[in-house]
Structure 1
Amino acid sequence: MLVKLNKIQISCIRRIALITAFFLSIGTTAMSAHAHTPHDMVYAFAASPNYASDKTMFLVTDGAYTGWRYNEILRSTDGGLNWVDIPNGMNHPYEYSVLRVSPKFNTDQTVFAGLKGKGGIYRSTSRGDFWESYNTGLAASNLIVRKMEVAESSTGYVLFFTDANGALFRRSSTDANWIQVLDKTNKVTVIAISPDYATDNTLVIASDSGYLQKSTNNGNDWTELGNPTGTIIYDMAIAPGGAAEIFLATPSFGIFYSSDGGSTFINKGNNLPNEAINNIAVSPNYATDRTVFCTSLKQSVFKSTDKGDNWVLFDSGAQVTKQTALLNEMTDLQVSRTYATDKTIFLPVFDGLFFSSNGGTTWKQRQTRRGLMTGLAASSNFNSDQKMIATTYVGRGIAISADGGSTWSTSGWPNPKGHKLNFFDSDIVQNPNGTQTVISARNGFVGNSTDFGDSWSVKFVPRFTAINPDLVTFTTLAASPNFTNDKEIYLGSRFHGVLHTKDFGKTWRLQRGVPLNHPVTSIAVSPDYANDRTAFAANRAGQIWRTQDGGDTFLRVGASSIISIGWGGQRYTWVAVSPQFATDNLVIAGTNNGIYRSTDGGTTWTKETHASVGSNAVVQQVEFSPNFGTDRNIFINVRGKGLFRANLNGGGAVTASQNITLSLLENENIQFTEFQISPTYAVDSTILGAARKNIYKSTNGGLTWAVAGFPDN
């Protein structure tokens, strides 16, 4: 071995590196949130192997900025100028860890998505237009995907992934099942596949302590390469040309290089910073251009044109946001497989998607989240006035339509500097004299309008520095139906639980019964609030909280009977209260494990088992028909499946349902971010749906749909 360190040095270095990596990966709980706008963080990325001609790429980012935020997979076919959500079939409650595209994407149209939760792998053979589970042969303990790589084979593709336990699995395009090729004792954390895999069948894996193994026969047999760096390994890359040249990215010593297939390694890295190197990628044209790229924890992108001997920094513009652990900032680096033609490098990081089309010399950022709709509300007189409000993220903020969504204007919310604004929700209250009050909120501010958004009375919401020094960031809101008289508003937040005002924002109180460590995803106020003083709040921990004394106390309900699945912070929950609550006491909860109902005001709960919606449906939103007393309908937005209209019997149980947006989902990849039922539904049968930047409208109860308009144009 050309790198010579004695055993004591290696042991000490390894301990330091492991401790450092641990703290880099978890961050610190005291880390403050420094805003970057828009919040277009990229969690996973993959580009078409034919990028030079098809300009196709896929990425995972947060859902639209509403109270629920399931990750979304987006696709662009124009180099990132425009993006579409591709949710069809993704009926699971988990986050994504990795995306990969088949090397033969041009003909097989295949994309893979690996999940952090126990969802395993999903596959699409239609460019992402439809997804299905791809887990045959895997046990439940193998369904958390840590790393995944794909290679070209003589018959199609070969896919390798390592699970959370460190076992390694393989499946080819002709296999019916996954095959375990290394068990969990190998503790695999990094996978590198030879670009010439179709001929050399070579891959290298690294363990969580930095030990390498190599296979030259498709993972059937392995050769120990030891720990050449004396530390752990963050990333690996194999250069084209028979898998002789291997690059290792490490937290302590920069880059290691082997020219003999891993038998020996030398340390390289002239001009690299004295910090961890966490990503490394090799040009597909390496045989002639000798080009390698890498990133460090805080800087990107470094380029070498002499096999890694010397490096030059070309600033990508990607910033360290300080909103995540340092190791999660610069998360990925990929080189276009058509680099010889397009000279494209991709840098998908927590700060967004950056790319270079001239070999790394200059960089641009592609936006994925500007102008997204985050909320929707319809006039209580919608049938006659056709007015609606849409809130948007990094756009108009609040957009107003007076013609059913065909045209939109910017509201009169004070914005003297003309900045792009972020709003998260709105509510419209019918006043006793027939007028309406609109309530809306943005970070740190809440406002009300009595002329449907033309002018606003805006109040500052004070910081609660003992909890969080930053502005209060809101997720959802609900006003008292008797707002004209009581001035009460409940606001859900990311870090402050539920806030409550009884004087339209002059004073605020925290509802300390509701946990502060899980964002609030839904708030519902009883239509008979003036008498029963009842409101509900749901959060991302799968919990529902109820007040029956006008917010003086909140107590958890359904703790033993409402069963969500997955990680505690991913149990998005929605709650809706019957318009007939004063007499039927009916409450519906939508969870990531189906629908639950209560017929005693939320004290006890029963799971809905009717097969038409699905007993384990991942529910994103539930609303009652405003005409529920007559039509007995509720509407349920199910992740990856669409919007259902369900009929309830006298006991609140589902008797039948119909998927009323199946054609939108299958033909146009439309899954609503949020939907609203017209308050005058009994007369106009109108349903409104928000999908990224578009409003969809149905005037016949969901039988047919049309694009109504674009609020942020």
Structure 2
Amino acid sequence: MAKIRLLGTAALLVALLGVGSSGTAALSGVGVWTTTGPFGAQVQALWVAPTFASDPIVLAGTWEAGVFRSTNRGQTWEPGSLTDHSIVALAAPPNFAVSSLVFAGATDGFFISANKGRTWSAANAGLGASPRIQAIAATPTFAADNTVFVGTFATGVFKSVNGGMAWDPSSVGLTSLSVQALAVSPDYAQDRTVFAGTFSGGVFVSRDGGDSWVAANVGLALGEDVRALAVSPAFADDRTLFAGTFNHGVFRSTDGGATWHERNGNLPAAGLQVLALALSPNFAADQTLFLGSPGGVFKSTDGGATWADANQGLIPFVPVRAIALSPNFAADGRLYIGTDKGGVWMSTDAGVTWQPVNELLTGLGTANFVQASPEFATDRLVFVGTAGGGIYKSTDRGVTWERLINTPPTPAAMAISPEFRTDRVIYAGSLGSGVYKSTDAGRTWARVNSGLGSLRVSALAISPYFGVDRTLYAGTDGGGVYKTTDGGNQWKAVNTGLESSRIMDLAISPFYFSDSTVFAATYDNGVFVTTNAGGSWSPANRGLISLRVNALAISPQFNTDKTMYAGSSWGGIFRSTDGGQTWAQFNNGLPGTYVVTVCALEMSPTFLTDQTLFAGTCSDGVYMSRDAGQSWTALNDGLWNRQVRSLSFGATAEGILFAGTTGGMAWTRELGSAVERTHFLYLPLAFR
């Protein structure tokens, strides 16, 4: 993990967290960690229990964070046992009220829950190596025949007749084996009909329970990309189903799939890229259906003949990937949508208005940093970078968040100018898109990559004298270190003597103007130091018994005490008091002296007088030392997720320490003894 250090001014915030929005008060709790948010996730799938009126369960399938479960209509969420899995499909058999069965399709297989989504077990027998499930459909006769179908990324359809415990191929006649949608006829007991929507072959139909398939594409474009299928609940009578395509919008068939007719009415261009479809349970009477797209939600009340924008209250231009309606929709008007990075939203007026329902939904994947403004004591400004979700900004110390536009798609590091009050300059490093620069406090961004040989930027370090020297260093994952002396207009490699290309962290001396010193922590070769502003590097590893160094911390009084710390994998913490020439292990009080992995370090900005240092371990939580590392004490009361990845201290009147862990929610803790009125905000996140 890379941290970004801003030294020479007040030591500020650097951490990792999941993002979203929450109105929970951000700073509370004395002597114990408490959660505050923000919350959110990339939601790929949603499911509402058929027993919702009496048992209001909602499940959300997320990218890289598994299935989340709500038992109170989405007001709060809890993770299931599928953490770290990417879920793209959720379904349950019609006899859910009796069986409590729920199915989940993931990028790494099929999973079954027998307790309404609380816990899950893999069930991949017969699916082949590395099955990637994209769609699930159980028969309406499941209670009698135990039949369920899955559509896969590249191996077609599989069928199980024992509730998913074993699978057989069911793809005879399919000419496109990437199956993205499945729908079973409500009259399956009589007609044995199943529909499959494919990536490049349009729609296929089976009228023998999946034994064989034929194309059903009359009226569809050749090679149509079908993302969603929805069958009328009254299919036996009206023979109606809908297909949502990614290129040409919505099509309807009223003859059981024999022919298709476009039903795009007044849909805008963004609505023609269909990601999800859902029909009202009372469709035969109300003719209502909803469509999810990159342009948000659209609603039709005339069977798709015309459409209306249904995005009031939603984040603009956030793709909607999943839609689920209450089985009592006719009475309660309730439906849920799953968005790309915006979590779950709920409407209780049939889509007229929306509100986020993300409390404790901690699944936004990897959030790679959080960093405060150098003027944090007065402006309360904090930035968060999330994997695939861009950068978010809070102007109230993390209570609420807004997503910034045109930011890097995979931000991994941030550096804020020490002259931020006047120049408003921010840099963001991205894993794949290089360095971005903003000159208006994050409102707009531009790429500044000229001369940058690697676009996988994992660490940034800005000169404490940036207003004068315009110097910034970028550490990359695979390309070593780059330097700019003109604020990012031009970069050059500065790797002479650097024996590793994978940079985990950079730390720049608070007195860089006079000592020209920068340290680099590497993935496989320990610590390197330059004392000539990147002209050449030398190893600084004497005494280090672990050369995988994850984090560095450098004293604010480095010019006099020459003190710095290194956090390593499997070797714990090392201290140097001679500017990195020699190191000694300082693990007294840490768990597993020779095996503990330290992912984050942070020093009090008044270290010279209080000798206070914080360590985040990769699996055992946060530790504090009040004697410059001689001994350590755990600070974990209430911190149930102890996989800490980042720490940073904010030198405000309150003193705020931020910590990042795996997951995606925030916590805060007030500690009144180490540093006066110290608060801790825990910001969970996944370690790269």
Aligned amino acid, residue 195 of structure 2: F
Taking the aligned partners of 2:566 and 2:60, their CA distance within structure 1 comes to 35
Deviation at 1:224, TM superposition (A): 5.8
Alignment match, 1:677: 649
Alignment of 1:114-513 (within 5 A): 127=74, 129=76, 131-132=78-79, 134=81, 148-152=89-93, 153-155=96-98, 157-161=100-104, 168-173=110-115, 178=121, 180=123, 182-183=125-126, 185=128, 188-190=131-133, 191-194=135-138, 196=140, 199-200=143-144, 201-206=146-151, 210=155, 212-219=157-164, 225-235=170-180, 236-242=182-188, 244-283=192-231, 285-287=233-235, 290-296=239-245, 298-308=247-257, 309-312=259-262, 314=264, 315=267, 317-318=269-270, 332-335=275-278, 338=281, 340=283, 343-347=288-292, 351=294, 353-356=296-299, 358=301, 361-363=307-309, 366-367=314-315, 375-379=371-375, 382=377, 386=378, 389-390=381-382, 425=414, 427=416, 429=418, 439-441=425-427, 445=437, 463-464=449-450, 467=453, 477-483=460-466, 486-491=469-474, 499-502=482-485, 504=487, 508-511=491-494
Correspondence for 1:610 among 590, 597, 600 = 590
- Residues 461 and 304 (structure 1), Cα distance of their counterparts in 2 relative to 1, 3 Å cut: closer
Deviation at 1:626, TM superposition (A): 0.9
Taking the aligned partners of 2:172 and 2:538, their CA distance within structure 1 comes to 54
Deviation at 1:548, TM superposition (A): 1.7
Taking the aligned partners of 2:584 and 2:508, their CA distance within structure 1 comes to 18
Alignment match, 1:586: 564
CA RMSD of aligned residues (A): 6.2
Instruction: Report SS of the residue matched to 1:155.
Output: helix
Q: Would you say 1:577 and 2:577 are equivalent positions?
A: no
Deviation at 1:283, TM superposition (A): 3.7
Aligned amino acid, residue 256 of structure 2: K
1:658-695 deviation digits (Å, cap 9, x = unpaired): 45888xx9xxxxx999986343x5xx333287999999
Correspondence for 1:623 among 602, 605, 616 = 602
Deviation at 1:282, TM superposition (A): 1.3
Alignment match, 2:535: 552
Taking the aligned partners of 1:317 and 1:516, their CA distance within structure 2 comes to 48
- Residues 73 and 677 (structure 1), Cα distance of their counterparts in 2 relative to 1, 3 Å cut: closer
Taking the aligned partners of 2:79 and 2:398, their CA distance within structure 1 comes to 35
Taking the aligned partners of 1:205 and 1:604, their CA distance within structure 2 comes to 56
* Equivalent residues of 2:658, 2:680 under 8 A apart: no
Deviates more, 1:230-239 or 1:338-347: 338-347
Taking the aligned partners of 2:501 and 2:491, their CA distance within structure 1 comes to 19
More helix by share: 1
- Residues 447 and 234 (structure 1), Cα distance of their counterparts in 2 relative to 1, 3 Å cut: same
Taking the aligned partners of 2:597 and 2:615, their CA distance within structure 1 comes to 10
Deviation at 1:444, TM superposition (A): 5.3
- Residues 673 and 185 (structure 1), Cα distance of their counterparts in 2 relative to 1, 3 Å cut: closer
Q: Would you say 1:687 and 2:687 are equivalent positions?
A: no
* Equivalent residues of 1:239, 1:282 under 8 A apart: no
Aligned amino acid, residue 625 of structure 1: S
Q: Would you say 1:647 and 2:625 are equivalent positions?
A: yes
Instruction: Report SS of the residue matched to 1:272.
Output: coil
Instruction: Report SS of the residue matched to 1:378.
Output: coil
**TM-score (structure 2 length as normaliser):** 0.60
Taking the aligned partners of 1:218 and 1:529, their CA distance within structure 2 comes to 65
1:340-362 deviation digits (Å, cap 9, x = unpaired): 469343536xx575444556534
1:302-339 deviation digits (Å, cap 9, x = unpaired): 4444433213163564499xxxxxxxx97x42426657
Instruction: Report SS of the residue matched to 1:274.
Output: coil
Deviation at 1:490, TM superposition (A): 2.7
* Equivalent residues of 1:376, 1:690 under 8 A apart: no
Correspondence for 2:517 among 520, 524, 534 = 534
Instruction: Report SS of the residue matched to 1:154.
Output: helix
Instruction: Report SS of the residue matched to 2:372.
Output: strand
- Residues 202 and 548 (structure 1), Cα distance of their counterparts in 2 relative to 1, 3 Å cut: same
Alignment match, 2:685: none
Alignment match, 1:41: none
Deviation at 1:256, TM superposition (A): 0.7
Deviation at 1:173, TM superposition (A): 0.9
List gaps (5 residues or longer) in structure 2: 1-12, 24-35, 319-340, 343-366, 429-434, 682-688
% of aligned pairs identical? Answer: 18
Deviates more, 1:194-203 or 1:687-696: 687-696
- Residues 229 and 552 (structure 1), Cα distance of their counterparts in 2 relative to 1, 3 Å cut: same
Instruction: Report SS of the residue matched to 1:478.
Output: strand
* Equivalent residues of 2:670, 2:678 under 8 A apart: yes
* Equivalent residues of 1:162, 1:188 under 8 A apart: no
Taking the aligned partners of 1:147 and 1:274, their CA distance within structure 2 comes to 26
Correspondence for 1:657 among 628, 635, 648 = 635
Deviation at 1:248, TM superposition (A): 1.4
Taking the aligned partners of 2:18 and 2:614, their CA distance within structure 1 comes to 22
List gaps (5 residues or longer) in structure 1: 1-65, 77-82, 137-142, 321-328, 409-418, 565-572, 666-670, 707-713
Aligned amino acid, residue 333 of structure 1: A
* Equivalent residues of 1:301, 1:316 under 8 A apart: no
Deviation at 1:644, TM superposition (A): 5.0
Taking the aligned partners of 2:153 and 2:418, their CA distance within structure 1 comes to 56
- Residues 646 and 446 (structure 1), Cα distance of their counterparts in 2 relative to 1, 3 Å cut: same
- Residues 233 and 551 (structure 1), Cα distance of their counterparts in 2 relative to 1, 3 Å cut: same
1:218-243 deviation digits (Å, cap 9, x = unpaired): 23576664522144132222233336
* Equivalent residues of 2:425, 2:437 under 8 A apart: no
Aligned amino acid, residue 193 of structure 1: A
Taking the aligned partners of 1:436 and 1:252, their CA distance within structure 2 comes to 54
Instruction: Report SS of the residue matched to 2:292.
Output: strand
- Residues 68 and 626 (structure 1), Cα distance of their counterparts in 2 relative to 1, 3 Å cut: closer
